[in-house]
Amino acid sequence: MDLRRLGHFLAVADHGGFTRASKAVFVSQPALSLSVRELEEELGAELFYRAGRGVRLTPAGHALLGPARQALRDVDTARAAVASVTGLVTGSLTLGSLPTLAADPLAGLVGRFRTAHPGVLVDLAAPEDTADLAELLQNGQCELGLAEGASLPAGLTTHELTRQRLLIILPPGTIRPAQLAIAELGSVPFIAAPHGTSSRRLLDEALTDAGLSPHIAVVTAQREAILPLVLAGAGAALLPEPLAQVAARLGAVVSDPRPPITRSIVLAHRAGPLAPAARRFLKLAAGAHPESGSRRDASTPAGSIRGTRQVPALRS
């Protein structure tokens, strides 16, 4: 199968049409159309529904999407593997992260990686939530994803890095102890992300486990708005410890919930070999959190990164 044709197929799929794709890959539109048509003839199936200037993937096109990305990535991996003999001097790495993990720990990890490998281009995707991140990993658009382990769907390999505490932040002037029992939060209005996000799930579970009905006053998909809303007195919020520290410096009251609320932070990827840049990033991330991998499955090969597990497939 011609790798050039696979690349043209992906360009059309990613850009939603032949005109935009031709400009992106610097190929004339007739040549691009011919390339995709030849690929369809080789496979014996149409890959796109053609409707005016736009296109949509057929079921066959959807089936090819992930393997095509992996095939091109494998070629890049082969090239990079040769270069890696003398050091990782070039290449690229595509990362995704939950919004609440982008500032910490992602920013610090990317900074360390770029310091060690300044020739590698790092492309940061911006998934909306865990489901969006999982889709980017499964279809090959992201090679690594930073997420909360418990919220990932089946079929992805995960490497636990650390456990992160989440703290309660309250409007300035609130009289609360440094440690706050969750059972005392029954009347507290909360500002929260929408259902389906990691932080919302943890908040709902903590309150429900304490026998409380969550009192959600504001729901916002704009994570950057949560802290300003708390500072303006709109309600309380549950935030990761690094963001809670920022909130405290801005005048918010921060309390440590009892029992504590924590989540497992993992790097995830599709099963199979990783490109050299991704392997280096994974090794660096594990080294940045020495507490990670304190336990290892008996099936994990010696010398591999600890804390790795394969999420089991769901059973019907």
CATH code where residue 46 lies: 1.10.10.10
Tell me: the pLDDT tens digits for 170-226?
Answer: 999 998 778 889 999 988 999 999 988 888 999 999 999 999 998 999 999 888 899
Tell me: the pLDDT tens digits for 64-100?
Answer: 999 999 888 888 877 776 766 455 677 789 999 998 8
Distance of CA 290 to the CA centre of its chain: 22
Judge whether residue 240 has pLDDT over 80: yes
φ, ψ at 258 (rounded to 5°): -130, 120
Is the same domain home to 15 and 95?
no
* Residue 193 lies inside a defined structural domain of this protein: yes
231 lies in which domain range?
163-262
* Residue 300 lies inside a defined structural domain of this protein: no
Is the same domain home to 180 and 35?
no
CATH assignment of the domain containing 154: 3.40.190.10
Is the same domain home to 167 and 257?
yes
Is the same domain home to 122 and 140?
yes
Is the same domain home to 76 and 158?
yes
- String of DSSP letters for 233-273: TS-BEEEEHHHHHHHHHTT-EEEEEES-EEEEEEEEEESSP
Which of 21, 37, 64 is the endpoint of a domain? Answer: 64
Judge whether residue 269 has pLDDT over 80: yes
Which of 46, 64, 82 is the endpoint of a domain? Answer: 64
Domain tally for the chain? Answer: 3
- String of DSSP letters for 31-91: HHHHHHHHHHHHHTS--EEEETTEEEE-HHHHHHHHHHHHHHHHHHHHHHHHHGGG---S-
Question: Is residue 9 helix, strand or coil?
Answer: helix
Is the same domain home to 92 and 147?
yes
User: pTM of this prediction?
Assistant: 0.64
Question: Is residue 193 helix, strand or coil?
Answer: coil
Is the same domain home to 38 and 155?
no
Which of 64, 88, 116 is the endpoint of a domain? Answer: 64
In this structure, the number of other CB atoms found within 10 A of the CB of residue 149 comes to 21
Tell me: the pLDDT tens digits for 288-308?
Answer: 775 544 333 323 332 233 333
Distance of CA 247 to the CA centre of its chain: 24
Return the residue matching tokens 């969550």.
214
* Residue 77 lies inside a defined structural domain of this protein: yes
Are the C-beta atoms of 167 and 206 separated by less than 8 Å? no
Q: Which residues pair with 124 in a beta bridge?
A: 95
Amino acid identity at 242: P
Is the same domain home to 147 and 169?
no
* Residue 45 lies inside a defined structural domain of this protein: yes
Mean pLDDT of the chain: 85
Query: Can you tell me the distance from the alpha carbon of 205 to that of 211, in angstroms, rounded to the nearest whole number?
Result: 10
